[in-house]
Copies of this chain bind each other. A is one copy, B any other.
Amino acid sequence: MSDLTKEQIEEINSQRSKVEGTKRVVSNGLEEIIYQSLPVLDHGFIRVIDYMGDDSSIVQAARVSYGKGTKHVSADKGLINYLMRHRHSTPFEMCEIKYHVKLPIFVARQWIRHRTASVNEYSARYSVLDKEYYIPEPQNLASQSSSNKQGRGSVLEGDDAKRVLDLLIEDSEKVYEDYEKMLEGESQIGLSRELARMNLSLNYYTQWYWKIDLHNLLHFLSLRADSHAQFEIRAYADVMLQTVKKWVPLTFEAFENYRIGGAYLNSKSINVIKKIIKGEKVTQNNSGLSSREWEELSNLIDLSK
């Protein structure tokens, strides 16, 4: 938050201080943090800018009702659990949220692959980018995993870590310095912004407005708040999960229950479990599972016993 200018902080405070009356559904949890800059990584943030609907809107749409939700929270909760369990998607599409996000370009490149959102990005054709780049914390300077071709291994230490940080900072400084030189020009004639920006590196920060419905947001979060996601995008997803918890607490609980700690079992794996429960002796050889599938099932339910 320290990166915000005084003017930006004033704009945010001015919005936060103004309360108006509305007949719409209001999420008190989200009203608490709306417009606030929730810090992520070294210079990034997540800000909730606007939202539509709450838990009751999901129930209302599922029932195509004239009024709001059901009369009782317990009935709303039961229905939301049912919808989540059976992967009904359209009622969750009836809630919408809009974020202002500041994020490194390499994170933005992963993020934008989710196509079911609306985006307005800060234009580096139109404006000059600020000098803000991402440098990982030392504890996040992971080495290449030896087992997983796209994963991280142990943390770099000592000189290895220092050397990487020095290189990242040195190059980030240099590319920005030269970006500025190109923009200015020796003789007052600068290179166009749309060209000069190509000299910046992928750890430079950009920002955008990003708007998405709750169903697609949960899909995004199930992939990006996951242990297989790159640490940097997960840092954003984790903060967003907290905003979902404040916004639609019943949906958040159902999501955690059914989508986060859960797992999909194929028919062969279900058969293996049935046999074990019946007391049959099952090994990988007679299971019909590949060694990879057997390993994944073992990790899930401890077949060693």
Chain A interface (Cβ < 8 Å from any Cβ of B) = 4, 7-8, 11-12, 14-16, 18-26, 31, 34-35, 49-53, 57, 60-62, 64-68, 81-82, 85, 87, 90-91, 93-94, 96, 98, 100, 104-106, 108-109, 112-113, 115-116, 118-123, 125-126, 134, 136, 141-145, 149-154, 156, 159-160, 163-164, 167-168, 170-171, 174-175, 178, 181-183, 185-187, 189-195, 197-203, 207-209, 211, 213, 230, 257-270, 273-274, 276-278, 290, 292-293, 296, 300-303, 305
Contacts and interface: CB of A to CB of B under 8 A. Distances in A.
A187 B159 contact: yes
Nearest to A182: B164
Interface of A is mostly: mixed
A170 B187 CA distance: 21
A192 B143 contact: yes
Contacts of A178: 167, 170-171
A228 B259 CA distance: 21
5 contacts: A15-B67, A52-B98, A93-B118, A94-B211, A143-B185
Contacts of A208: 64
Contacts of A16: 23
B64 A209 contact: yes
A267 B261 contact: yes
Contacts of A198: 104, 106, 134, 168, 201-203
A104 to B, nearest CB: 7
Given A209-B94, A305-B277, A136 B19 contact: no
A7 to B, nearest CB: 8
A196 B264 CA distance: 33
A106 B179 CA distance: 15
Nearest to A121: B64
Given A61-B209, A118-B213, A141-B191, 9 more contacts: A20-B24, A22-B22, A106-B197, A115-B115, A123-B150, A144-B190, A156-B185, A167-B199, A273-B301
Contact of A270 (B150, B159, B194, B262): B262
Contacts of A21: 19-22, 26, 31
A109 B109 contact: yes
A141 B197 CA distance: 13
Contacts of A257: 266-268
Report which residue of A154, A163, A170, A207 has the largest number of chain B beta carbons within 10 angstroms of its beta carbon. Answer: A163
Contacts of A152: 192, 194-195
A64 B23 contact: no
Contact of A96 (B49, B96, B190, B290): B96
